[in-house]
Amino acid sequence: MAIGFLLFTILALASSLAYASDPSPLQDFCVAVNDSKATVFVNGKICKDPKMVTADDFFFSGLNKAGNTSNPVGSKVTPVNVNQLAGLNTLGISLVRIDYAPYGLNPPHTHPRATEILVVVQGTLYVGFVTSNPANPNMKNKLFTKTLYPGDVFVFPEGLIHFQFNVGKTKAVAFAGLSSQNPGVITIANAVFGSNPPISSDVLSKAFQVNKNVIKHLQGQF
């Protein structure tokens, strides 16, 4: 009986953890304060005194403005997470606006702490994500793709590599919600070829099965 209860408890905890993202708040709100000089670090951000909270702590303005896409990939992500909107602290949600130049790309990346749901409001986007490594080593990671038009919605599961590419001759705009106040982002190419200090060319040439000169060239781009 005791063993059965223990197994039930473990399964219940595992189930709750599997569906958890950011911790649930224990009060109405926990407006973040600037803790860049704090000597104590917490998982999230320190709460502002509720008596000092104002409506401005829950307000952000500017998502009507297009981002500057004059960069090598031709896209610009404008985030609204806890770093821009303090009232998001502990609420487990955030938002981004993404602008794309013609043939602009939001390159393959992952959000380690969030699922993303994206809606296109202008232009045509080719989007997709890749699954994690299959249990069967003889199988390959599966790619899911779709071409999206204004009003279309697509979901990128938490932690999986995904991308968006503007396949149109005009600019595109999308908005996305994320299931974390601070979803994080790892841009694959930047992380692999542009880290500081750089990853050893011995490691990368072995991993990608290419000559070291190819790796050095790629590292030179970042």
Q: Please enumerate, by residue number, every residue annotated as part of a binding site for oxalate.
A: 106, 111, 116
Annotated binding site: 106, 109, 111, 116, 162
| DSSP-assigned letters across all residues of 10-62 | HHHHHHHHHT--SPPPSSS---B---TT-SS--SS-PBPPGGG--GGGG----
Residue 128 CA to residue 124 CA, distance in Å, equals 13
Residue 213: strand, helix, or coil: helix
Of 107, 87, 113, nearest in space to 182 by CA: 113
Annotated binding site for Mn(2+): 109, 111, 116, 162
Q: At what angle do helices 212-220 and 201-208 cross, to 10 degrees?
A: 110
Q: Please, are residues 138 and 150 in contact by the beta-carbon 8 Å criterion? A: no
